[in-house]
A and B are shown apart, each in its own frame.
Chain A
Amino acid sequence: MKKPHSDQKLILNLSNGDKNALYLLYDNYSGALYGVVLRICRNETLAQDVLQETFVKIWKNSSSYDPEKGKFYTWAYRIARNTALNALRKTDNLIQNEDLSVYTNKTSAEPEPDYIQLNGSINTLEPHHQTAIDLVYFKGYTHQEAHEEMGVPLGTFKSYIKQALKQLRKTYTKQLVWVYFIFEMIA
């Protein structure tokens, strides 16, 4: 999924209150954000609600987005992640109020759905790097929670993330070189 060049213009229109700009941005970004939200929520109905809520927030807070501070995806990702975590916290409370055991049994008994599987360059990483990226970027863990989950010290965990990102950078640069190379060949 490649983003069209008009993103910057769309974002500008969005902050000027253009609803169509929001719908076009939805077309461009909803897939990537839904991938994150779905992996955090592990529940399609809840994830769809969260995705909708995320775009409502993007619409309402569009004036607070500052392109100088970061990319639109980064900003939207933060909103999606927080919305998903809040929604999970709410449903957790509800379920715990009803019956705690139902929830814990359910999560452990159910097989992992297909969408949990990560795709693309992340699969070229070493397993522990993959896990680290998955926990923090796709499952909504904080660094603190994630290092406990993996059972390694925080410093070690942080270096996993750093190394993983460095590795990804290399992969993507290689891909770019290949693309450039093929481009040259065709031309």
Chain B
Amino acid sequence: MEKDKILDEGLLEQYLIGELSEEDALMVESALQKDIELKQHFLQMQDDFEKMGFENAVTPPFQVKYELQKRLETPLAKKTNRMPLLVAASLALVFMLSTVWLYTKWQNTEKNLESLQITTADLQNRLDNLEQSYLLTSNRLETINNPNVIPLILYGNDIAPNSKAVAYVNHTTKLVVVNPQGLPKLPANKTYQMWSDVDGEMINMGIVPTDEELVTLKYIDRAESLNITIEPAGGNDHPTVEQLVSYVLL
């Protein structure tokens, strides 16, 4: 059936020059496989076809073979060389990009860390300050607000009529603290100084600067009274009695 069709329609002649559709070519190929006679016929046809081709051969210029060799020898070498290079190049690119990415990430992190450190240091400072001022305040409070403390008010006399200082005396811990805020400001070459009267003798307790809230002074045993005088800046060894501004009995 197939064989007849192939021979009648001249399909073999068309198959020979590769003119058949894929479907027809497959049909012819399977027929050739099955039919030895048909295959023999086709072989003969090819023989004649080849002879005809060789009878009509034209020698091509030598250049064509030379070009062919050049083309087959060179691009292959290039090809094998280019592949790993291409891989290396793309890997390098990937590394470069990731490096840049990581670098920026790192830089950002560094910046964040730095600002955090600054904030932390700042907070630490503020905490230290708070702690210090808290300690100071609590110390002062403890010094003043204590059952053993006797608060004494030193009112000013005629020299300083509106002045007022508060002294806190603790005989148990032998501590004297004065709040000088109520004393009038003095010129720079003067200062207040406090004295204890022991058996008629005035003993130096220390100078009283008015710019502090609480001034700790020397506790003197057996003191009978506390006295404030105005003295030259830096304090005096002996009180200037004419400049006594205030006193209080203990």
A residues near B (Cβ < 8 Å) are 1-3, 19, 22-23, 26-27, 30-36, 38-39, 48, 51-52, 55-56, 59, 69-71, 73-74, 77-78, 81-82, 115, 118-122, 133, 136-138, 142-143, 158-159, 161-162, 165, 168-169, 172
Let me know if A169 and B56 touch, CB within 8 A: no
Q: A39-B56, A56-B71 are in contact. List 13 more A-B contacts (CB 8 A).
A: A26-B68, A30-B64, A32-B53, A34-B57, A34-B58, A35-B56, A74-B50, A81-B18, A120-B52, A120-B55, A120-B56, A137-B17, A172-B48
Complex-state Cα separation, A138 to B52, whole angstroms: 10
Q: Report the separation of the CA atoms of residues A138 and B57 in the bound assembly, to the nearest whole angstrom.
A: 11
Q: Write out, one digit per residue, whether chain B residues 69-88 have a CB within 8 A of any chain A CB (1) or not (0).
A: 10111000000000000000
Question: Of B6-14, B218-226, B242-250, which binds chain A?
Answer: B6-14
What does the 1/0 interface line of B6-39 toward A look like (CB < 8 Å)?
0001100110111100000000010010000000
Could you give 16 example pairs across A and B, Cβ below 8 Å?
A1-B57, A26-B65, A39-B56, A52-B71, A73-B50, A73-B53, A74-B46, A77-B53, A136-B17, A143-B19, A158-B9, A162-B10, A162-B13, A165-B48, A172-B47, A172-B48
Find out whether the CB atom of B19 lies under 8 angstroms from the CB atom of A52. no
- Distance (Å) between the CB of B191 and the closest chain A CB? 110
A31 nearest in chain B by CB position: B57
A173 nearest CB across to chain B (Å): 10
Q: Is B51 an interface residue (CB 8 A)?
A: yes
The answer to whether B51 touches A121, judged by C-beta atoms less than 8 angstroms apart, is yes
B95 within 8 A of A: no
- Contact B44–A32 (Cβ < 8 Å): no
A78 to B53, CA, bound (A): 13
Quick check: B46 and A70 within 8 Å, CB to CB? yes
Are B53 and A52 in contact, with the CB atoms below 8 A? no
- Residues on A with beta carbons closer than 8 Å to the beta carbon of B48: 165, 168-169, 172
The minimal Cβ–Cβ distance linking B88 to chain A, given in whole angstroms, is: 27
Interchain CA distance A70-B32 in the complex, whole Å: 10
How far is it, in angstroms, between the C-alpha of A122 and the C-alpha of B73 when the chains are bound? Answer: 39
Is A32 in contact with B54, judged by CB distance below 8 angstroms?
Answer: yes
Query: Given B10, B42, B60, B72, which contacts A51 in the complex, CB threshold below 8 Å?
Result: B60
Least distance between A58 CB and chain B CB atoms (Å):
10
- Please determine whether B14 and A118 come into contact, CB atoms closer than 8 angstroms: no
Partner of A78, one of B17, B42, B68: B17
Would you call B106 an interface residue if the criterion is a C-beta within 8 Å of the partner chain's C-beta atoms?
no
Which residues of B sit under 8 angstroms from A33, Cβ to Cβ?
A: 53
Known: A121-B55, A142-B19. A23 touches B65 (CB 8 A): yes
Nearest to B60 among chain A residues (CB) is: A34
Residue of A nearest to B45 (CB): A165
Of the candidates B46, B64, B69, which one forms a contact with A73 in the assembled complex, judged by CB atoms under 8 Å apart? B46
The reply to whether A74 and B61 contact each other, CB–CB distance below 8 Å, is no
User: B134 interface residue, CB < 8 Å from A?
Assistant: no
A106, B10: Cα distance in complex, Å: 35
- Candidate in A51, A74, A118, A172 with the most chain B CB atoms within 10 angstroms: A74
Instruction: Give the docked Cα–Cα distance between A1 and B54 (Å).
Output: 6
| B10-A78 in contact (CB<8A) | no
A169 touches B13 (CB 8 A): no
CA distance A38 to B60 in the complex (A): 9
Min C-beta distance of A87 to chain B, whole Å? 14
Q: For A36, what are the chain B residues with a Cβ–Cβ distance below 8 Å?
A: 53, 56
- A3, A27, A31, A161: most-surrounded residue (chain B CB, <10 A): A31
User: Which residues of B have CB within 8 Å of A26?
Assistant: 65, 68
A96 to B51, alpha carbons, bound, how many Å?
37
Per-position 1/0 for B102-146, Cβ under 8 A of A: 000000000000000000000000000000000000000000000
In the assembled complex, B49 has its CB within 8 A of some CB on chain A: yes
- Specify which of A3, A34, A122 is in contact with B52 (CB 8 Å cutoff): A122
Pairwise interchain contact A30-B65, C-beta atoms closer than 8 A: yes
**Residue of A at shortest CB range from B33?**
A68
Point out the residues of chain B lying under 8 angstroms from A122, CB to CB.
52, 55-56
Residue of A nearest to B66 (CB): A52
